[in-house]
Structure 1
Amino acid sequence: MATVSDVMVRTGRRGELGLLGLAVAVAVLARGLVDYHADFLELDELAIYAAGWAAVAGVIHLAIRRWASYADPVLVPAVLALNGIGLAMIRRIDFAYASRGRETDFGQVQVVWTLLGIALALGVILLIRDYRLLRRFTYTAGLVGLIGLLLPLMPVIGTQINGARIWINVFGKSLQPGEFAKIAFVVFFAGYLVSNRDTLALAGPKILGMRFPRPRDMGPLALVWVAAMLVQIYERDLGTSLLLFGIFVAMLYVATERLSWVVVGLGMFGVGAVLAGTLFSHVGSRYTAWLHALDSDVYSSGASEQLVRGLFGMASGGLFGTGLGEGRPDLVPYAESDFIVASLGEELGLTGLMAILTLYVIIVQRAMRTAIGVRHGFGKLLAAGLGFAIALQVFIVVGGVTRVIPLTGLTTPFLAYGGSSMLANWIIVGLLLRISDQARRPEAVTP
C-alpha cells in the first residue's frame, strides 16, 4: 500500500512572500529615486505604483501557491527585482531623452510587456501541469525553432535594424523570433540528448586522457554549428549564433559529462568565426570594431562609437556611480536596450552592477539546483538548458558592452527594453517554476 513519505518538504511559500516584499521595495525605491532626481516625484503617483507592484506580486504568489505550491521560492523574487530595476532605468532614460527634446515612452510600453510576460509565465504554470509532456514534441520544437530563425529572412515580414536581420514585422510592431526560438531549441536539445546520451557519452577514441566523439556521432553538433554560422553570416547576428551554439554545447556536456565535447565545440565555433570574419566583410567589420574600438579611424567611421561611449559612461560611474537619475545615459545610442548595462554602470557604479549580476547568478543557480533535484532525465536537461540560456545571454550582452567579446544585438534579460525578450524570458521562468514544483514535490513511496 502506497504511503506518503514521512519526510516533510517545506513549500517555501512564506519565505517567497517575504522576498517578494523585498523585490517590490527595490522596484519602488528605484522608481522613487528616478522621479526625485528628475523633479517629477509625486507621492500619490508613487503610492499607486507601489500598490500596483504589490498587487502583481500578490497575484503571482497566490497563483504559484494554487498551481505550483512546491515551486522554487527564490526564483520569482529575483526576477521581479531585476524587472523593477529595469523599468526604473528605462523611465530614467525617457527623462534623459526628454531633456534633449526627444519624447519617448519606452518606460510605459515596457510596463505593458512586463505584465504580458508575467501573464504568460502564469499561463505556462496553469496549462503545463507535467513538463514531461513536452518531450513528445521534441522534433516539433526543433522545427519551430528553425522556422523562428528563418522568419527574419523572409522577404515580406523580415526586416533589418541596426545592421542585423533578426526582426519581423507583426501588425506594425517589431518582433524578434530568435528569443522564442531559443526556448524551442532547448526543448529539442533536451529531448534529443536524453534519448542519445549513452551513445554520445560512451563511444569514441581516447586521446590525451579525454574520450573524443566518433565522426559519425558528430552529426548533431555539426548541424547546429552550420545553423549558427548561417545565422551569423546571413542575419548578421553574432549574438543569437553564439547563444544557440553555446546552449547546445553546454547541454551536451551536461548529458554526457565529457569535457571533450566542450573542447570540440569551442574549437569548431572559433574556426567558424575566424573563417566568417575572413570571407565576409560585414562579419569582419564587426570584429574590427571590437578589436580596434579605440583607434581613431575606426571610431570616426562610427563603427565603434556606441561601444566607446558606453565604456566611457561606465568609467565615469566609477565604484559607486553618479547616482540613479544623475548620469548622462542619453549620450549612448540605444541606452534603453542594447546598452542598458552601460547606463546602469554609470549611475549605479561597479557596486550596483555587481549586485545586478548577483541576482542573475541567483536565478541561474536556482535553475541548476532544479536540474539537480529533478528525477527525470529530460527535466534535468531542460532545466539546465533554460538556466544556461539566461546565463549565456547575460554573458554575451555584458561581455559585448565591456568589450570582452564582440558587440551583439541581444538584450539583457528582464532589464532591457524589448517585448520579445521580456515575453520569452518570463516563459522560461514559468517553465522553471513548473519543473521545480515537480522536482521538490514529495512523491508516494511503497514501504
Structure 2
Amino acid sequence: MSAVTSLRPRRGRNVELLLLVFAVGIVTLAYAGVEAAVTGAFPPRLLAEAGGLLGIAIAFHLVLRLTASYADPLLLPIATLLNGLGLVMIHRLDLAAGKSLSSGMALRQLTWSALAVVIAIGVLLWLRDHRLLRRYTYLTGALGLVLLLLPRLPLIGQEINGAQIWISIGPFSFQPGEIAKITLAVFFAGYLVQTRDVLSIAGRRVLGLTLPRGRDLGPILLMWGASLAVLASQKDLGSALLFFGLFVAMLYLATERISWIAIGLLLAGLGAYAAYQVFGHVQDRVLLWLHAFSPEAAKVSSQLATGLMGMAAGGLLGTGLGEGRPDLTPWASSDFIVAAFGEELGLVGLVAIVFLYILLVERGFRTAIGVRDGFGKLLAAGLSFSMALQCFVVVGGITRVIPLTGLTMPFLSQGGSSLLANWTLVAILLRISDQARAPVADDDPTPVSLPVVTR
C-alpha cells in the first residue's frame, strides 16, 4: 500500500502560470495606457519592461514548483497583479509631477518590489515547514516589541505627519511596524496554541455573555495596555488598532468565545476615547471624519476632501488611466492611492481591486481551515485577518466610514517596508497552503485539530 493516499489533489501550478501571464498582461496594458494618455506615445521599452516583470513572476513560480508544489495557485497571481497596478499608478503620479520612469518614485518602488520578491523566495527556501516558527514563539514576540520601539530611539527615529513610526539610516527610511505585524502574529499563534485550553475555561455569566475567568483576562489586558503604549509613544492610531485587533481576532479563533470579542471591542472603544481626549492629532482626524468639507477641517488638512472630490469626479467608470488629476491629492502615492484608483478607474475599477483583496484574504482563511496543525491554523488566519483589517482601515478612512489612521494599502501604496512585509506574509501563506493542500501520508504524525471556527 502506498504511503500516501492514492487520489492526489491537483497542484494547480499550470493554472498559476496562466494567471501570472494574465496578471502581467493587465499591468502591461495599464502601463501602456497611462503613457499614451499622458505623453501621447507608447513606452519605447514596453516589451523589455513587461518581460522583466514577467521574468520575476515566473522565477517565483518556478521556486513554488520545486519547493511548494501544492501551494495555493491564486496567492501569487493576485499579489503580482496588485503590486503591478500599484507601480502603474505611482508612475502615473510621477508623470503628473513631470518625472520620468528613471527619475521618479516608480523606479524606487520597482527596486523594492524586486527585493521583496527575492526575500519572499528566500523565506520559502528557508522555511520548509511552517511549524519551525513555533520554536521561536517568544523570540518573535520580543523581536516584535523591539521593532515597535525602534522609532523611539534617538538619531534614527523619524516623525512624519504627526506619527513617529519610521526609522531613518542614511538615505534609507523604514517602517519597522510592518515587519512587527508578522512577528507578533507568529508569537500570538504560538502562545495561543499553548494556552487556549486555559483561556476557554468558562467564568461568570454577565448580560448573557459567559466571561472568562479574571486571571485569564491578563493577556488581553496586557495587549490593550501595550497598544495604548504604542499609541502614546508614537502617536500612531493605525498600528495600535491593527495590533490589538489582530490579537483579539486570534484569541477568538483559538477559543471560539464571543465574550473575548465583546471585551476587545469595549477596550478598543475605551482606548479610542482616551486617545481622543489626549492627542490633538486624533481630534483633528475625528474632525476631518465628521466634517470633511467644513472651514475648520480645511484649516487642518484638505487631503480627505480632495480625495473624496477626486473619487466623485471618477464616477462609475472613472476618468480613465492618465486622464484624471489624482496628483492634486496630497500623499496620493501612499496614504491615498485608493482614492487615485477610484478617480481614474471609477467605482467599478475600485470594487474590482477590493475584490482582489477579498479573494486574497479568502484564500488565506481557506488555508487556515485546511491545514492540519493548530499553530498553522492560527498563523494563517492571523496573517489573513491582519491584511483584511488593514485594508478595511485604509479604505474605511478614505471613504469616511472611520477616521483616517495613516496606514498604507498592501502592495498598492508606495513604501519599501510595506512591500517587504506583505510579500513575506504571502510567502508564509504559500508555505502553509502547500502543507494544507498536499496529500496526507498514512504515517503523518501531525495531529488533526478542530477547525478554526466551528460555530
Q: Provide TM-score, normalisation by structure 1.
A: 0.96
Aligned equivalents of 1:350 and 1:298: distance in 2? 26
Deviation at 1:104, TM superposition (A): 5.7
Q: Is contact 2:35–2:43 with CA below 8 Å preserved after alignment?
A: no
Equivalent of 2:310, from 285, 309, 313? 313
Name the residue aligned to 1:260.
259
Name the residue aligned to 1:235.
234
Name the residue aligned to 1:423.
420
Deviation at 1:267, TM superposition (A): 0.8
Aligned equivalents of 2:105 and 2:167: distance in 1? 20
Aligned equivalents of 1:257 and 1:215: distance in 2? 18
Aligned equivalents of 1:54 and 1:72: distance in 2? 19
Q: Is contact 1:141–1:184 with CA below 8 Å preserved after alignment?
A: yes
Name the residue aligned to 2:404.
407
Deviation at 1:43, TM superposition (A): 5.2
The amino acid that maps onto 2:222 is L
Q: Given the superposition, is the C-alpha separation of residues 365 and 139 from structure 1 closer, same or farther in structure 2, using an over 3 Å criterion?
A: same
Deviation at 1:291, TM superposition (A): 2.2
Q: Is contact 1:321–1:348 with CA below 8 Å preserved after alignment?
A: yes
The amino acid that maps onto 2:110 is V
The amino acid that maps onto 2:322 is G
Aligned equivalents of 1:27 and 1:145: distance in 2? 35
Name the residue aligned to 1:94.
94
Q: Is contact 1:12–1:73 with CA below 8 Å preserved after alignment?
A: yes
Q: Is contact 1:306–1:333 with CA below 8 Å preserved after alignment?
A: yes
State the SS of the aligned residue for 2:200. Answer: helix
Deviation at 1:410, TM superposition (A): 1.1
State the SS of the aligned residue for 2:145. Answer: helix
Q: Is contact 1:233–1:283 with CA below 8 Å preserved after alignment?
A: no
The amino acid that maps onto 1:160 is E
Name the residue aligned to 1:25.
25
Gaps in structure 2 of 5+ consecutive residues: 445-455
State the SS of the aligned residue for 2:98. Answer: helix
The amino acid that maps onto 1:164 is A
Name the residue aligned to 2:189.
190
- Structure 1, residues 97-137: CA drift from partner, whole Å, max 9, x if none? 118x9x96111111001101111111110001111010111
The amino acid that maps onto 1:350 is L
Give matches, 1:25-424, under 5 Å. 25-39=25-39, 41-42=41-42, 44-98=44-98, 105-299=104-298, 301=299, 303-424=300-421
State the SS of the aligned residue for 1:159. Answer: strand
Q: Given the superposition, is the C-alpha separation of residues 241 and 446 from structure 1 closer, same or farther in structure 2, using an over 3 Å criterion?
A: closer
- Structure 1, residues 257-307: CA drift from partner, whole Å, max 9, x if none? 1111111101101011112211333332332232222221221x1x23111
Name the residue aligned to 1:15.
15
Aligned equivalents of 2:58 and 2:278: distance in 1? 54
Equivalent of 1:436, from 417, 433, 437? 433
The amino acid that maps onto 1:220 is P
Q: Given the superposition, is the C-alpha separation of residues 378 and 446 from structure 1 closer, same or farther in structure 2, using an over 3 Å criterion?
A: closer
Deviation at 1:172, TM superposition (A): 2.1
The amino acid that maps onto 1:321 is G
Aligned equivalents of 1:349 and 1:375: distance in 2? 42
Deviation at 1:202, TM superposition (A): 2.5
The amino acid that maps onto 1:60 is F
Gaps in structure 1 of 5+ consecutive residues: none
Deviation at 1:7, TM superposition (A): 1.9
Deviation at 1:335, TM superposition (A): 0.6
- Structure 1, residues 364-384: CA drift from partner, whole Å, max 9, x if none? 001000000000000000000
- Structure 1, residues 189-246: CA drift from partner, whole Å, max 9, x if none? 0001111111112232233443211221111111111111122222111111111111
Q: Given the superposition, is the C-alpha separation of residues 419 and 40 from structure 1 closer, same or farther in structure 2, using an over 3 Å criterion?
A: farther
Q: Is contact 1:165–1:237 with CA below 8 Å preserved after alignment?
A: yes
- Structure 1, residues 19-46: CA drift from partner, whole Å, max 9, x if none? 1111111111111111111126345411
The amino acid that maps onto 1:8 is R
Q: Given the superposition, is the C-alpha separation of residues 233 and 291 from structure 1 closer, same or farther in structure 2, using an over 3 Å criterion?
A: farther
Q: Given the superposition, is the C-alpha separation of residues 2 and 219 from structure 1 closer, same or farther in structure 2, using an over 3 Å criterion?
A: farther
Q: Is contact 1:27–1:85 with CA below 8 Å preserved after alignment?
A: yes
Q: Is contact 1:97–1:104 with CA below 8 Å preserved after alignment?
A: no
Deviation at 1:443, TM superposition (A): 2.5
State the SS of the aligned residue for 1:179. Answer: helix
Deviation at 1:6, TM superposition (A): 1.4
State the SS of the aligned residue for 2:203. Answer: coil
Aligned equivalents of 1:328 and 1:446: distance in 2? 61
Aligned equivalents of 2:120 and 2:202: distance in 1? 40
**Which range moved further: 59-68 or 31-40?**
31-40
Q: Is contact 1:290–1:304 with CA below 8 Å preserved after alignment?
A: no
The amino acid that maps onto 1:155 is P
Structure 1's consecutive aligned runs of 4 or more residues displaced over 6 angstroms after TM superposition are none
The amino acid that maps onto 1:437 is D
**Which range moved further: 138-147 or 276-285?**
276-285
Deviation at 1:171, TM superposition (A): 2.9
The amino acid that maps onto 1:355 is A
The amino acid that maps onto 2:423 is W
The amino acid that maps onto 2:171 is G
Aligned equivalents of 1:217 and 1:41: distance in 2? 65
